[in-house]
Structure 1
Amino acid sequence: MLGKPFTAMVVLNFVGSWKFFGMMMVYWLAGLQSLPTDVYETAKVDGASSWAVLQYITLPLLAPYAVVILLLTIVNSMNVFDLVKILTGGGPLHATKTADLYIFRYAFFSRR
């Protein structure tokens, strides 16, 4: 699977997603647990449907958490040196070569 450029990228994306999946779920769970319960009780008394509660209460209250989780995901996605080095080493036909892997090779294996 890691011998073809396309499948090597697919495998790296899957492994990278799996690596950070648990941590991101903990962040979402912390965000959900921090939402105020009195708002939900008020919506229930007013007769709001489950879809309306999700759409008008839960999602807007989770928006700040979503921004933080998005920023953390972006920062973590730039930290893939270990995955690329271990799984493909820059990969078939340089398909999975990243900037940090290039810097590593230049720093430790060039003869300059």
Structure 2
Amino acid sequence: MRVIVRYFFRTLRLILTPFILLSEKLNTPKSLSRTAEEQALADEASKNLALYQFSACPFCMKIRKEIARLGLNIETRNAQHYPQYRAALEAGGGSIKVPCLKVQRDDGSERWL
């Protein structure tokens, strides 16, 4: 019975994923308008950030929409489809739970949020 339930939800996820991603594309807000200098400062502040995420995760989608709304250039790394990102997330973050933000500090240390 447990196997049937597991496959039911996997199939449901497979069916709903394209609709979730389409919904994100259609509902992503416009970014804030900034001057070139302000945008350069925002880009400089966010250059050491990387978001580990899954493409169809609703929490990740919410974070990506907020990043787009704020007009930040944060690198997104799909830990679902790329094993090197998944391994880095598990090693640095402690477990494979997304969304997870990796902050690379200037002294070379890392912080996982």
TM-score scaled by length of structure 2: 0.35
Greater relative contact order: 1 or 2 (C-alpha under 8 angstroms, separation 6 or more)?
Answer: 1
Larger radius of gyration: 1
More helix by share: 1
TM-score scaled by length of structure 1: 0.35
